[in-house]
């Protein structure tokens, strides 16, 4: 009975702030713009959240917590490695298709204020050591060729995320600015990234 009060101003603010912050970033977003998006007075933002910084922290921290756990769970399942990677890539690309602004936003913000990012990140206790271990075990078992597992993680993330973060550039370079074509390309990458990676890491 606390969730569905009436219009719940706080939630309206959070939703509006998320929209605006992701689209414009911390620097580019205006408090007035967020207020307009939420359909409220600007002073109300400061009533519920003390400052722009605090409001941003709420959004950003929540976002980090939301993204990472879902991802590693797939890779830590007991399925065969081919399937784990296939499912991971499919899920990740699908999530990015639903949140196309996310990559550029996150990259922008982690580079803007590294200290702030490190703090919010560390306090959210995200940990990839299990993931590294899993890949090492797959290598020992001879299921995939030996390599630095960090390279494998970096490559998978890179191939998934980069085409979204660099969309304006790649769309122009590879598809002459054809929006439809580029989105189809992104959709197809669920398959092509998996192929590319498995071709590289599966023993011959």
Partner DNA sequence: TTTAAATTTGACCATCTGGTTAAACCTTTT
Partner DNA sequence: AAAAGGTTTAACCAGATGGTCAAATTTAAA
Q: Token pair for residue 66?
A: 């939301």
Interaction partner, residue 50 (DNA, a second copy, none; CB < 5-8 Å by kind): DNA
Return the closest-CA partner of residue 81 out of 141, 146, 143, 140.
Answer: 143
CB nearer to DNA: pick between 48 and 68: 48
- Judged on CB neighbours under 10 Å (0-12, 13-18, 19+), 129 is exposed
Alpha-carbon gap, residue 49 to 52, rounded angstroms: 8
Binders of a second copy in range 66-125 (CB under 8 A): 104, 106-108, 110-112, 114, 117-118, 121-122
Q: How far is CA 76 from CA 38, 100, 131, in A?
A: 39, 25, 7
> Tokens 């560390």 — which residue?
122
Residue 77 site contact among a second copy, DNA, none (CB < 5 to 8 Å, cut-off depends on kind): none
How many Cα atoms within 13 Å fall on the side-chain side of residue 101?
11
Residue 44 touches DNA, criterion: CB under 7 A: yes
Which member of 11, 51, 140, 151 binds DNA (CB under 7 A)?
51
Which residues contact a second copy by CB under 8 A?
25, 27-28, 104, 106-108, 110-112, 114, 117-118, 121-122, 126, 128, 132, 145, 147-148, 150-151, 153-155, 157-159, 161-163, 165-170, 172-175, 177, 185, 188-189, 192-193, 195-197, 199-201, 204
């Amino acid at each position: 009975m606390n969730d569905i009060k009436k219009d719940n101003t706080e939630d309206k603010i959070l939703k509006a702030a998320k929209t605006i912050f992701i689209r414009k970033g911390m620097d580019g977003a205006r408090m007035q713009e967020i207020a307009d998006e939420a359909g409220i007075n600007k002073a109300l933002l400061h009533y519920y959240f003390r400052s722009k910084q605090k409001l941003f922290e709420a959004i950003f921290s929540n976002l980090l917590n939301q993204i990472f756990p879902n991802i590693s769970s797939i890779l830590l399942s007991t399925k065969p490695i081919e399937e784990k990677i296939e499912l991971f890539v499919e899920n990740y690309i699908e999530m990015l298709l639903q949140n196309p602004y996310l990559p550029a936003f996150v990259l922008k913000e982690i580079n803007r204020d590294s200290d702030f990012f490190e703090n919010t990140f560390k306090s959210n206790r995200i940990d990839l050591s299990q993931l590294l271990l899993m890949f090492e075990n797959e290598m020992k078992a001879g299921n995939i060729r030996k390599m630095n597992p960090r390279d494998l993680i970096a490559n998978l993330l890179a191939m998934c995320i980069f085409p979204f973060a660099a969309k304006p550039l790649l769309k122009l370079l590879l598809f002459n600015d054809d929006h439809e074509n580029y989105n189809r390309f992104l959709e197809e990458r669920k398959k092509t990234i998996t192929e590319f990676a498995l071709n590289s890491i599966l023993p011959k």
